[in-house]
Amino acid sequence: MKIEGKQNIWKEYQKEIAEDHFFYVRSCVRQNFFPGSEKTFLRILQYELKKDLFENPSHTTCSGIGYHTDIIPFETSMTMVARQFALMTEAGYENLVTSCITSFGLYSEVLETWHHFPELEEKTRQFLRKATGREFKKPANVSHASDIIFKFRKEIAEKSKYSLVNKDTGKPLRVVEHIGCHYSKMFPSKGIGGAEYPYVLVGMIEDWGGEVIDYPERRHCCGFGFRQYLVQANRGFSISCSKKKFDSMEPYKPDMILTNCPGCPMFLDRWQYAISEMEGKTYGENNQGIPVLTYEELAGLVLGYNPWDLGLQVHQVPAEPLLDKMGIPYDPEMKFRGADGQDLGKPEAPTTLKFYAKEV
Amino acid sequence: MTFNLFVLPFSLGFIFLFFTMIMKNRSWIHEMDVEDKRKFKSGLRSPRIFFALREIFFESLLHRKMFRRNPMLGYMHMSFAFGWFLLILFGNMESRIYSGFWINPPYYPIFLKFFIHDKHVLPFEIFTVPGFFRFSMDLLLLFVLSGLFLAILKRSRSHWFGLKKTSQLQFSDKVTMTCLWLIFPLRLLAESFTAGAYGYGGGFITQHLGNVLAFLWPLNDKDVAYACWWMYSLSLGIFFVMLPYSRYMHIPTELILIFYRNFGIQTRKGSGFFSEIELLSCSRCGVCIDVCQLNTAAGIQDIQAVYFLQSIRHKQVMNNIVNRCLVCGRCQEVCPVGIHTDYQRLFHREVFRKSQAQDFSFLNGESTRKAEVIYFAGCMSHLTPTIPEAMQQILDTAKIDYLYLDKDHTVCCGRPLMLAGKPVQAEMLIAQNKKTILDSEAVLLVTSCPICYRVFREDYKLDIRILHHTQYLLELIKKGKIPLQAYFRKVAYHDPCDLGRGSGVYNDPRELLLKIADPVKVRNEGKDSLCCGGSLGLINAGTEEKDRITKEALENYLEAKPEILLTACPLCKKTFAKHSPVEVMDVAELVMEAIPKKAGEVMSC
Amino acid sequence: MKSFGYNITEDRQIDFDANDRNVTVFINEIEPSILLCMGCGSCTATCTTGHFTDFNIRKIHTLIQRGELKHLKKEIMKCMLCGKCQLVCPRGVNLRNLILSIHTALEKSGL
Amino acid sequence: MSKTAIIIGGGTAGMETASQLARLGVEVDLIEKQPHLGGHLKNWDRLFPNRRNSDEVFDYLEKGMNDGISLHLNAEISNIRKSEEKFTIALQDGKELQSDALVIATGYEVFDARKKEEYGYGIYDNVITSVELEEFFRSNKQKNLLEGVASKRIGIIHCVGSRDEKAGNLYCSKLCCVTGVKQAIEIKELMPDAEIFCFYMDLRMFDRHFEEMYYEAQEKWGIQFIRGRLSEASENTDHTLLVKVEDTLTGLPLKMKVDLLILLVGFVPSPETRRLAAMLGLKEGDDRFLCPADEHTITNSTEIPGVFLAGTVKGPAGIANTITDARATAIQVADYLK
């Protein structure tokens, strides 16, 4: 690997990311999948980095899921996107930050469409006016939340309490990064580092002390693919895609998988469980699986936040092996207790996948 | 004195050989199925036994076929076989005169001159009974020795014997051959020294040679003579013991083969014993090497029938030797022993591919229209569409109600599978085609492909007439059903292997050609015709080797400067067309061209 | 093993490095003319068995070159060895021997 | 007073045009921006299809550099003016040249393989271009280089930057196919136990003896051809590469590990060709190569009187065709100058 070659490409794919004053739009599904992540993003931006960030509770889905599952026409999507823009305009913001990769992709797609077909923008304005009476300004900057973390990765590193280094061996942890398809595969120029060698997560990993592992199926989809998962009959295809990735990364012995998309961590995490149940096959050391984290979770860990405050207890593949390697202390007893210390009950252990670290 | 220790090597060798042959023959008889056993038993009680003896006399002793091929070669074989035979015969008679008994120990006639020293018989005396035998025995020894001289000569000057290439010998053959070559010179020496030592008792050669030797030799002549007798006996004994392990096994085996063959026992599937007899009958004379086109055209010299049979005997059958053969039948045609080399080859291909399964379950019988005559073009004809096209037009012209059975697609006739050594699998295709053929209720099956023709006749067991299109066209012309005009172009006819040597159809195409063309004479034709090189029998050979065979065959025809090279096989046509500078046509196409386009140009036949 | 109402589908991808190519090497040694194939498909087009089934000698051979032998035995059994393919091959590939070699290779490798 | 011509570009086309024009009695100025003549020819080791040394062709061309040709090496053109049938070319060093005719022979350059990011050229250790391979062959250090990467299996990728909308080039570069086959054979000559796979879409062996070379590659050298375009390559930890293609002849996707990947880079018009075309107002085709006055008949002149084209400014061409084309241009120029 010639790192200069990659750096040359990364140089070509630089994008502008706003400095401050963000209008944050949440993801439909992440709050269920990994509820601690968005909360952590807000905490980092507002309390660590002291940035101005605004949310509007009337924000709805961007319709990306519906659009990509072929049940919502593009005109509808454009109008819904226009409404989010109107909420932002009304709040006096112009820097849009999306939590969701698909939203990021859809916003980029809509803006690009309007750029090439101004009449569609005009039409959308009419639709929005008729439906809601709102007006909007197009955002000055559209970034994905991972772009923001990427931008401030060095500040986070400065404040960090832990790094991606194995505390026993002193060696960097081996991290596999997985970029959501809609981040830069649609518009390579809108992603940091482009489509072939995206840099957004690589930059975080490198600056936080880890080592990035490239592996043959790095570019392959996580398997979510909307229709693949949402239609039950297609789920075999979804899990097969994930398995292809696991099989490909396994020989590289990654310590963790880092993701920046709502669906990817969900499927890379949960399918490890499903594969272990269906075929008895597990990845990672001691049948523990390969922990899958969102970039917000990882940033939180680096900054020394309590793992259970980050929501790591909702992961199917236990994150404890990673915590152990990084030397992050945690109280196993508190894993399944509520904020007030109330016992929430323990989930049933999977057949093969080692879920409870203590059993190891 | 009728015994001496030195007779033991001979006697033991002789007994060994005698019992070996008895045991061999017993096991062969044991392996016979009911049918063959019946033939064997009835054969023994029938005049066929005399036919067999006649054949043995002409072929095994006189070597008539060899004479036809080359007089030197014939004489060489005859002097050995017939000379030795007469020596044994005369020796036996002579020994009876001296012993006074009808039954003597087997060594007695062989070593008679050691035991008997008749001083009353003069070397050139021929008008008394003992004198006649004494004289004849020397004469016969000379006869055999002249053959020996030629045999030695043949090793280095094989071309004098009409052989371009003689077979390469194995070690056991060399030892046995040396013993054989030593037998007669040693006999000469033993008898001569004995006659010289005693001063009498020899014939016109042995006595005079003995006298000279006695004069020249400073030692005790009787001791030298005794040593020679030992060596003579030893060489005979070793020869007999080695014989079953060498090519000379052909001498006793061929006799058995001739008997069996005359009794009607034949090479066929599953008769392993007959295969064994055949391959043991191979004298490795090497005649097959010269006629093999893989040798003459492609320079491949290690796969010919002689080596192939040898490899079976030594249980070293290799892929290369079994599968590299055109199965054109040329070697079979010239084999002096009449070994079915093609059958042997296919039989061993089968052994090679025994466990290789096929699945033709996708074929299901389609019922066909009823017709009296059915036409089966064959797979290959579909790649030379002008042939079936011509046939259709001719049959239409002749107003024949026929069914073109494989118009849309062909189920292979099965012979290619057989040629690959898969007769059992071929049966599946045969059953399929047979059903379609029988469903049509036809009485006549005409095919354009000699490959199909052969398998239809040999393996389909159809109770209907089967004709190759050359035969059928001749029949139609004779019946006046096909109008023909004068169309005498100069053509050279190529006999396809499966039609000529394979099925014996030589005359019908020629008779037909005389009616419509001007056939020229070519060097190799009829039984001696060459293979085009496209044979499906040749499993592993490269394009280059095949091309060389084709070019060699082509040269044979082009020498006669024909306008058209004519064949009766789609595969030959396609193979020749690749290299031929003259037009290559099928007989059917030529007939088609000879049909007048306008009425009134009809030629009577 | 649990069932969730769907299956993990086998990867269709040819994993060239995972495939055992001993059979390929064996066949190529017996019949090197096969290396000359340029994938024109005339063999398959003229094939009689191909008329009745989806037997495709061109594809079978290509798969062998990749070490893919999964359905080889089932497929190769259908060939009638008539030799038409060989007659039309523009590169002079000895297809009949190829097929017989495949049989031999399968036999030897116990597939 | 004899007429004069300026030839811009001292590669194969420029040299041969100059030589022929000089023979015909025209005074020629040959402008080359490099310090030496020969252009791309100097980069090739041996030429297809007969694998003769490229220096022999260069020697032939150089023999034509006789009296009547003024060489201007290291010369960059700053502008071109045309007035009353005369062309005035200003060079960057301040020199000015005048002539009655102008021949554009500025040729092509190879496609920048880095643009096919997914092939990892410039990023992965063992991805090189066909041009680099020629350099290795030329410098006679080839064995060391290939041994250095322990190459046992080598993938040769056809159509890199050609026939590819994503690369912005719809056209076929024609000569990459035969180059790939030539190089495959050359590698085999050096390393008989190497396993070589060519990944191609079509093998366009259009010229004499090309197809025979393909045959030789298969028959004699056992080079394997897999029909399918490389979709992406990725690097393994041991610096080998994993290539993913569809084996279109089996209809299955395929992945394979290779030790070295050679990209057959295609032709694109050289920047100098495009700059001169813009200066002179010459017509570019959809493929950005220059258009002659007529594609079939007037193949060496342009719509601007006195401006002629020679060689690969008009599109991909091999050495032999370039030389033939240069001669045709020379005749046209001489005719024009009469």
Q: Sorting pLDDT into bands at 50, 70 and 90, what band is D147?
A: low
Q: Give the pLDDT confidence of B130-144 residue by residue, as tens digits.
A: 889 989 999 999 999
CA distance B552 to chain C (A): 19
A217 to chain D: closest CA residue: D234
* C-alpha to C-alpha distance for C57 and B422, rounded to whole angstroms: 19
Quote the pLDDT of residue D146: 65
- In this prediction, residue B172 carries a pLDDT of 85
Residue A234 is predicted with a pLDDT of 86
Least confident span in A306-315, A334-343, B488-497: A334-343
Is residue D157's pLDDT more than 90? yes
If one compares B597 and D20, the residue with the highest pLDDT of the two is D20
Question: How far apart are the two ends of chain A, measured CA to CA in Å?
Answer: 37
Q: Which of B291-305, B343-357, D131-145 has the lowest mean pLDDT?
A: D131-145
Mean of pLDDT over chain B: 90
Model confidence at D143, in pLDDT bands (50, 70, 90)?
low
Q: Is the pLDDT of residue B541 over 60?
A: yes
Helices (H), B243-383: 250-262, 272-280, 287-291, 293-296, 305-313, 319-323, 330-334, 341-352
CA distance B365 to B353: 27
A26-40, A154-168, D97-111: least confident range? A26-40
Q: What per-residue confidence (pLDDT) applies to B2?
A: 77
Check D222 against C35: CB less than 8 A apart: yes
**Would the pLDDT of A359 be above 50?**
no
**What confidence tier does B604 reach under pLDDT thresholds 50, 70, 90?**
very low
d(CA B366, CA B378): 17
Which residue numbers of D have CB closer than 8 Å to C's CBs? 203, 214-215, 218-219, 222, 224-225, 227, 247, 249-257
Nearest chain C Cα distance for residue D203, angstroms: 10
Q: What is this structure's pTM?
A: 0.87
pLDDT digits (tens, 9 = 90+) for B232-276: 999 999 999 999 988 889 999 999 999 998 998 887 766 678 888
Query: Using CB atoms and an 8 Å cut-off, which of residues 105-164 of chain A contact chain D?
Result: none
Instruction: Answer yes or no: are the C-beta atoms of B181 and B189 closer than 8 Å.
Output: no
Q: Which residues of C touch B362 (CB under 8 A)?
A: 49, 52-53, 78
- How sure is the predictor about B579, in pLDDT bands with cuts at 50, 70 and 90? very high
CATH class of the A154-359 domain in this structure: alpha beta
Res B128 pLDDT > 80 = yes
Residue B408 has pLDDT above 90, yes or no: no
Architecture, CATH, for domain C22-109: Orthogonal Bundle (1.10)
Tens-digit pLDDT profile for residues B299-344? 999 999 999 998 888 888 888 888 999 999 999 999 988 899 998 8
Contacts of A5 in chain D (CB under 8 A): 114, 120-124
Asked if pLDDT for residue B602 goes beyond 60, the answer is no
Asked if A175 and A169 touch (Cβ cutoff 8 Å), the reply is: no
The CATH architecture to which D113-266 belongs is 3-Layer(bba) Sandwich (3.50)
Residue of C nearest to B575 (CA): C87
- The confidence score (pLDDT) of residue B598 equals 65
Is the Cβ pair C107, B356 closer than 8 Å? yes
Pairwise CB contact (< 8 Å): D117 & A194: yes
Interface mutation vs chain B, best among C79, C82, C88, most B CBs within 10 Å: C82
Cα dihedral A77, A82, A87, A90 in deg (nearest 10): -170
* Predicted confidence band of residue A112 (pLDDT cuts 50, 70, 90): very high
User: Would you identify the CATH topology of the domain B256-352?
Assistant: Fumarate Reductase Iron-sulfur Protein; Chain B, domain 2 (1.10.1060)
Interface D:B, ≥3 CB–CB pairs < 8 Å: no
Residue B599: per-residue pLDDT = 52
Tell me, yes or no, if the two domains B256-352 and B483-594 fold the same way. no
C contact set with A (CB within 8 A): 1-9, 11
| Residues B378-403, mean pLDDT to the nearest whole number | 95
Radius of gyration of chain C (CA): 16
| The architecture CATH gives domain A15-145 | Up-down Bundle (1.20)
Contact flag C6-A235 (C-beta cutoff 8 Å): yes
Q: What's the pLDDT score for residue D17?
A: 97
Cα atoms in the Cβ-side hemisphere of radius 13 Å centred on D51: 12
Domain ranges in chain B are 49-252, 256-352, 373-475, 483-594
Highest mean pLDDT of the ranges A169-183, B43-57, B185-199, B362-376: A169-183
Task: Look at C13 and D215 and tell me if their CB atoms are within 8 Å.
Answer: no
- Give the pLDDT confidence score for residue B488 in this predicted structure: 81
- How many contacts, defined by CB atoms under 8 Å, are there between A and D? 43
Query: Nearest-CA distance from D295 to chain C in Å?
Result: 33
Nearest residue to A55 (alpha-carbon basis) of A85, A27, A22, A77: A22
Q: What ranges do the domains of chain A cover?
A: 15-145, 154-359
- Is the pLDDT at A72 greater than 90? The verdict is yes
Whole-number percent of chain A with pLDDT over 70: 99
Note the ipTM here: 0.85
Task: Name the one residue in this structure whose structure tokens are 């060095």.
Answer: A154
**Could you tell me which chain D residue has the CA closest to the CA of C17?**
D256
Which of D218, A279, D248 lies closest to C14, judged by CA?
A: D248
Which residue is closest to C3 within chain A, CA to CA?
A278
In chain C, what residues touch B534 (CB-CB under 8 Å)? 87
Q: Do domains A15-145 and A154-359 have the same CATH topology?
A: no
Q: At what angle do helices D319-337 and D12-23 cross, to 10 degrees?
A: 40
The partner residue sitting opposite C35, judged by closest CB among D203, D218, D247, is D218
Of the candidate CATH numbers 2.30.30, 3.30.1310, 1.10.3470, 3.40.50, the domain formed by B373-475 belongs to 3.40.50
Instruction: Give the domain B483-594 fold.
Output: Rossmann fold (3.40.50)
For chain D positions 96-155, those within 8 Å of chain A (CB to CB) are 114, 117-118, 120-125
Structurally, at CATH architecture level, domain D4-107+270-337 sits in 3-Layer(bba) Sandwich (3.50)
Q: For chain C, first and last CA: distance in Å? A: 29
Give the H or E element holding residue B492: strand B490-493
Q: DSSP secondary-structure letter at D169?
A: B
Q: Across the B/C interface, how many CB contacts are shorter than 8 Å?
A: 84
End-to-end CA separation in angstroms for chain D: 12
Contact call for residues C28 and C102 (beta carbons, < 8 A):
no
* Of the partner residues A1, A195, A216, the one whose CB lies closest to the CB of residue D242: A216
pLDDT of residue A187: 93
CB contact under 8 A, C39 and D227: yes
Query: For residue A212, which amino acid is it?
Result: V
D4-107+270-337 matches D113-266 in fold: yes
Look at the block and give the residue holding tokens 């100059």. Answer: D18
Q: Which positions in chain D touch A196 (Cβ < 8 Å)?
A: 117-118, 232
